[in-house]
Structure 1
């Protein structure tokens, strides 16, 4: 059973009481991410995520960690392109401690100059570590390719130069602009007392008042055909193909998820079975949709020997054309829907998953679909709906390609890929 209310200052709260569990998960969601940045301050959202763990007016960084560690709980955070979340999972009787720690981090962080300097070094090393993962680099390169000229193209971590040049004023200004009650959602899932929890939230967060308005986002990018290559001294080559997907909140997403399961979303998918199992041309190959406000993309990834780049690219396009020619069968759609429902229901057994679903939906969509509603939306996916989304997503006029690795003849290879893909 969901409950939804606003604190006196406008902070939205969404909860789901699950009486049969002994844990509770709480997340504080802020609509702040790399999509709200520019080339000068890229990485600020992620940097603020780090800084909120570095000490408040009443707790040191160590005391923040110990507050949750000492009760056997978990405390963490993450930043994405469109939001930042600080969350804790604790035994149900320790929810008051989790609320106190999270509110202290959010409202009383010091942003100490020395800690900023130290954390800049830490984040630079995180960026360097990320750069050592060519698969991650390939996905970032695809974002830069497909979203060229739009803030969605910016990496979540930022780059070394922008992070090193961040000042305390830059950080505070960004924090005060985005970390405001109207831009915040608190989500709670698990076993808790509603009356007591509501009182605690009002006491902890209700006096938080910051003037400001919810920042706007760029217009959706116009997708066209682009290709980018990044040279990296690796044994394996990492290939990403990107097409237009489905934006957040669209019911078409369920049709796309059904299509993705059959095409490349699982080990039994066509891509995996044909390219890896039957041909042995790749170690890893999969596809997945990503949805944002007013835009979405569909990504196909493959990790392969550089000598197989053209072969694998042709096979991927052949599989796309096969689906476009004959579409999915009723049996494939039925099995895919059952797989989606099974995965979704299994995820409901985690209070963390439920908290995440509640918070993200309310923050980015302003509404929450119940498990029953989501299962009904999956069941309603039709053959015609899958055909429509297939035709729209598998449109080569909006095909983007990014690959990372060691290629002997960059110019010749790029020309051959263009000939294959951009006919």
Structure 2
């Protein structure tokens, strides 16, 4: 059972006790991501994520890494468009020590100017690495096309121009405005002891910062296109369509729809484009859900000579589905796949911790697994077809090609 307790400063602690496990997964979730940034701040949230690993008043960056290596644990972090997470997984008898180190990083990062400049260069290399991988870069270009006037379309890593303007003082000011108790959730799952929960409350339950309310502007989807030419062996294509938000009552209907389109090996795209025609090695679709909107996207990578054919097959397949091509058997199979994926996730403390932290942070509520299974069972062919008709219209298009060419 998932339990939530609120500290006196407003910070929430979410816990799920799993006594037969020998591990504890823990995460510090901050309700702040790249879409919270102003244009000149683009990339600052991700920069903060890096800097929290660069040493505190009592631990160097090397000592932070060594402490987790010594106890056989893992520690890492990631930045998304809506939140940031610092997480660790350790054996249960090391949990109190692990959360102590996480708290030290969270509250006492030094922001040393020398380390700051080195990490700026590290992130510039990370940006270059992404640009050197066209199968990643094409997704970044798609988001720019879909939401050109909204911060959610900007890259999480930022740009060389925005990174050049960051200073330790700007980082601290940004953290003071966004890293607040009400914006923070600590999630733990596994063989949790009462002493661990007391430790978390003692470490995180007293800090105070003035709250800065979120002011998201609802993104307006744009069906434009982007064509980028670069030195690459393959062409890469992304099609983007509007999706649904995390709170939408039809969220499982659109998830089933995505599975049927390209979310599995038995999906229409995989079977038609890879298995039947041999047009691509990698072909798939995905649905990204956020607090106020969502996106349904399709990706395929193929030779430049086959790009036009692959795109035409994708569009024809979607048209076929809209003309009544989805079967009841596909709905049933997709629902069972979703339920299987959900239940298999129960075997991982990390998956449970992450799920609980995101739900508390973004939804403020927790559904039991039985409630979720019931909602999946209620998915219907009629509703899936209705969503297909509404969402899949004129796409946003992003293409990366190995030579100069017109849009296909």
TM range (shorter): over 0.9
User: CA offsets per residue over residues 337-371 of structure 1, 9 Å max, x none?
Assistant: 11111111111100000000000111111111221
> Which of these residues, 297, 317, 320, is aligned with residue 318 of structure 2?
320
Separation in 2 of the partners of 1:180 and 1:239?
Answer: 40
**Aligned partner of 2:371 among 370, 373, 383:** 373
Number of residues of Structure 1 aligned to a counterpart in Structure 2: 408
Report what 2:48 is aligned to: 48
Q: Which 5+ residue runs of structure 2 have no aligned equivalent?
A: none
Distance in 2, matches of 1:365 and 1:61, equals 34
Assess if the C-alpha contact under 8 Å between 2:145 and 2:222 holds in 1.
no
Which residue of the partner structure matches residue 160 of structure 2?
160
Task: State whether residues 327 and 387 of structure 1, in contact with CA within 8 Å, keep that contact through their aligned partners in structure 2.
Answer: no
Unaligned runs of 5+ in 1: 418-423
The correspondence of residues 5-404 of structure 1 with structure 2, limited to 5 A, is: 5-193=5-193, 195-218=194-217, 220-396=218-394, 399-404=395-400
1:405 is the counterpart of 2:404: no
Structure 1 window deviating more from structure 2 (40-49 vs 387-396): it is 387-396
The alpha-carbon deviation at position 67 of structure 1 amounts to 1.7
Instruction: Find the aligned partners of 1:257 and 1:211 in 2 and give their Cα distance.
Output: 38
How many Å separate the matches in 2 of 1:293 and 1:8? Answer: 26
How big is the shift at 1:327? 4.2
CA distance in 1 between partners of 2:221 and 2:44 (Å): 26
In 1, Cα distance between equivalents of 2:85 and 2:213: 17
What is the alpha-carbon distance in structure 1 between the residues aligned to residue 99 and residue 287 of structure 2?
34
Please report how far the alpha carbon of residue 68 of structure 1 lies from its aligned counterpart in structure 2 after TM superposition.
1.5
Name the CA distance, whole Å, in 2 between partners of 1:221 and 1:215: 15
Q: Secondary structure at the match of 1:348?
A: helix
CA distance in 1, matches of 2:279, 2:253: 29
TM-score for the superposition, normalised by structure 2: 0.98
Given that 2:36 and 2:82 are in contact with CA atoms closer than 8 Å, whether structure 1 keeps it comes out as: yes
Q: What is the aligned partner in structure 2 of residue 420 from structure 1?
A: none
Q: Secondary structure at the match of 1:212?
A: coil
Checking the alignment, whether the CA contact within 8 Å between 2:147 and 2:222 is kept in structure 1 is: no
Q: SS at 2:72's partner residue?
A: coil
Which residue pairs with 1:421 in the alignment? none
| Contact 1:251–1:377 under 8 Å retained in 2 | no
**Contact 1:147–1:221, Cα closer than 8 Å, also in 2:** yes
The CA deviation string for residues 371-422 of structure 1, in whole angstroms up to 9 with x for no partner, is 11111111111122212211122122xx10001122333xxx22xx3xxxxx
**Segments of 4+ in structure 1 off by > 6 A?**
none
**Structure-1-length-normalised TM-score:** 0.94
Query: Take 2:159 and 2:286, find their aligned partners in 1: how far apart are those partners?
Result: 26
Contact 1:55 1:110 in 2 (8 A): yes
What's the secondary structure of 1:40's corresponding residue? helix
**Distance (Å, rounded) in 1 between the aligned partners of 2:108 and 2:222:** 45
RMSD of aligned C-alpha atoms?
A: 1.1
Per-residue deviation, 1:86:
0.3
User: Following TM superposition, by how much is the alpha carbon of 1:282 offset from its aligned partner in structure 2, in angstroms?
Assistant: 1.3
Confirm or deny: 8 A CA contact 2:229 2:404 kept in the other structure: no
